[in-house]
Amino acid sequence: MLELWSIFYFLAQNVKIRRGQNGYVRLRLKRIRQAYHM
């Protein structure tokens, strides 16, 4: 799980650099987080 979260954190950092699709990616991350919390 820790490796998975580190990968997601790395991807999030890359997304912050290019803010073009920021909103779309945030929505996807929210859905993924909900799926993993359940």
CA proximity to 15, closest of 3, 2, 4, 25:
25
Tell me 21's DSSP state.
T
The model's pTM = 0.35
Would you list the domain boundaries of the chain? 2-37
Give the model's pLDDT for residue 3: 84
The better pLDDT of the pair 17, 28 is held by 28
Tell me 18's DSSP state.
S
Q: What residue ranges in the chain does DSSP mark as E strands?
A: none
How far is the C-alpha of 18 from the C-alpha of 32, rounded, in Å? Answer: 20
pLDDT digits 0-9 by tens, 13-24 = 776 666 656 677
Place of tokens 């699709």: 21
Name the 3-class secondary structure at 38: coil
How far is the C-alpha of 16 from the C-alpha of 12, rounded, in Å? Answer: 6
